[in-house]
Structure 1
Amino acid sequence: MMHEVVTVAAVFSAEEIMDITGARLALGLMPDESAEVHTDTRTLPEGAWYVALSGKKYDGHDFLGDAFSEGAIGCIVGERPAYAIASTSFPLLAVIDPLDALAKLAKHWREHVSPKVLVVMVNRSEERCPAGKFCYDDLQVKHRTEYLRLANEDTGAVLNAVLDVNEPTERLIVEISPTSFDHISKALSVLDPDVLVISKDGYDHFRMSCTQQEFNEGLNATFAWPDASKCTLIIATSAQDVVIRSDAFSGKKIIHEDDDHSEDPDIWAARKACAAI
């Protein structure tokens, strides 16, 4: 008899958020319920936590009233002298940095679900890198697999997507296009990939937007997440390997020019990734 598998996304109580992030109750009353975590009041489900992130154009703290009106259970906010919210019972959990708090929650959920993670790093100007789709089509045949297409999304959106990954998930494919070295560094630290694919144009954006020294320093910092030595790095073209051949990455490396190949470099990389994970 077949039994339907019940899937569950991340939910947190106020107490759990405080334990994981170091938050304190800055205002309001502690709720007993657990709820999902979201970063956009425009799509905020009723009864969810709202994380007030500060971006280039908007400050999420300006929308605490909207979160209250939409029925949020409470908000995760940065430490401030005062908050733009009339209710004194609405819970605000204050942290030093809401983005770091969101990263800690996403990391906690990634470790709880514990899938094998494959990250495909693509150029943000590419229409579509075939590697992620190829890996999904291959892996989903035998494994419960989720595929997150997050090219051109900012750090907050990437972290929020990790919290939406359902349990159980056995293989998680995440396609990202880094907008900055800090962005990719935080994403890799949270995702802690088992396999990382650099597509054929995976970080051309950086080469065009910074000096060679800045590029080298940024790349070294990017590949320094705590468990990087356990990751297999697959590089689709040898042209991307200027720094990776050094000590910038401590894990196993599979490089395009080191292997026989006659197909599209990204498909080659996808085949290697599926075999490695």
Structure 2
Amino acid sequence: MGIRLGLCQTRVTRNKGENLRLAEAALRQAADQGANLALLPEMFNCPYENPCFPLYGEPAGGETWQFLAAMARELGLYLAGGSVPELEGDKVYNTCYLFSPQGEELARHRKVHLFDIDVPGGQRFKESDTLAAGNQITVVDTPLGTLGLAICFDIRFAELFRVMGDRGAQLILVPADFNMTTGPVHWDLAFRMRALDQQCFVAGCSPARDEKASYVAYGHSLVCNPWGEILTQLDEKPGVQVVDIDLGDLAKYRSQIPILSGRRGDLYRTEDRT
């Protein structure tokens, strides 16, 4: 079965219900174009602001979880539900849920590497002020192929992607929200490098840009192939882009430059963090 991936770059407002309606419209558009897998942005139901994460947060099984499960089931597609603030006990996680076409939760990835940066004259943000870090590496086998999940700042940590690659990830899905400081210089580069060094496909989905927001997203959702090429990319505006991904190409790229089979297991050892 081939993958037809729908990137759903939605606008995020301060109204959760409106955010879900915008996500629904984008998912329906992707399904109408034949997508059998869809990806939403990071924090697609919530403004990207520390005070909002606990206020908009929900436990697994809550309103947004139910919405995502229902959309996957109704549209008959696999759905990586961007990310949402997930409440568990006294903690808030930045979490991506993956659903089957039957509306079953297949996987849950909690952002491992929290976005704590301070660039002089640019962006300052500390997710750790409100969010807790996850501690699992998320790879799941599906009839479409073996999918990995990561969230935004995770992409800067090559070792995380290395372990996903060692566990067989063929396509890694990354809801992300780069900003106007890091986006123009690092967005394309980071996604192309993770695809190149793991010789797999990597997809990133961002919120659309809102210049009036306190945190301005870069946009430019994209898919990169194992050669480090960009297969498709949106601009900064809301939009849906559907792209065909042929996992059969993996063998071609990997045979041409056999870095995966040439890894020195006795020299480089990966740790199981689960």
| Structure number with higher strand proportion | 2
Relative contact order (C-alpha < 8 Å, sep 6+): which is higher?
Answer: 2
Larger radius of gyration: 1
**TM over 0.5: same fold?**
no
TM-score by length of 1: 0.31
| Structure number with higher helix proportion | 1
